């Protein structure tokens, strides 16, 4: 039971579903609160993609099965990018090719996700080497 809760905490699919639900909520609220602002949905989708990319990578560093988490995270991020793209197109009425600034922002967020992922893999590698060294030297 405890292992299932711990695994669910690190599962990026759950994070992606939660992010999608929150993003959809804010897009609906923005659609009614700012009916003339066509870029609001694109701004919300970009913001939630950025939050997902940062938090999932950082919070998944201590996960036990990191390789599986990273694979699931990449697939969840790709699904989230596509989902937010289609939701933003639906709520704004504009395709991504019609809003070039958000096309650039999406590109930067995707590169940022991959950069943060690489950094977290490197940090995890360093932490594992430090643990191995401490265990070897101190028997801890």
pTM of the model: 0.86
- Does the pLDDT of residue 139 top 80, yes or no? no
pLDDT digits (tens, 9 = 90+) for 53-96: 999 988 888 888 888 999 999 999 999 999 999 999 999 999 99
pLDDT score of 1: 46
Range with the lowest mean pLDDT among 2-6, 49-53, 56-60? 2-6
pLDDT score of 60: 85
Rounded to whole angstroms, how far apart are CA atoms 95 and 103? 10
pLDDT score of 16: 94
State the chain's mean pLDDT as an integer.
89
Domain ranges for the chain, please list them. Answer: 2-138
Rounded to whole angstroms, how far apart are CA atoms 94 and 106? 15
DSSP letters spanning the chain: -HHHHHHHHH-HHHHHHHHHHHHHHHHHHHHHH-TT-TTHHHHHHHHHHHHHHHHHHHHTTT-SSHHHHHHHHHHHHHHHHHHHHHHHHHHH---GGG-HHHHHHHHHHHHHHHHHHHHHHHHHHHHHHHHHHHHHHH--
């Amino acid at each position: 039971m405890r292992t299932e809760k711990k695994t669910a905490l690190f599962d990026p699919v759950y994070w992606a579903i939660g992010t999608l639900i929150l993003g959809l909520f804010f897009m609906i609220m923005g659609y009614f609160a700012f009916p003339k602002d066509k870029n609001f949905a694109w701004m919300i989708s970009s913001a939630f993609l950025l939050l997902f990319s940062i938090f999932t990578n950082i919070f998944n560093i201590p996960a036990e099965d990191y390789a599986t988490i990273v694979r699931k995270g990449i697939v969840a991020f790709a699904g989230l990018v596509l989902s937010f793209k289609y939701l933003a197109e639906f709520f704004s009425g504009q395709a991504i090719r019609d809003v070039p600034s958000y096309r650039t922002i999406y590109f930067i967020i995707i590169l940022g996700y991959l950069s943060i992922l690489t950094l977290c893999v490197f940090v995890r590698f360093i932490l594992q080497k430090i643990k191995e060294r401490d265990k070897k030297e101190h028997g801890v």
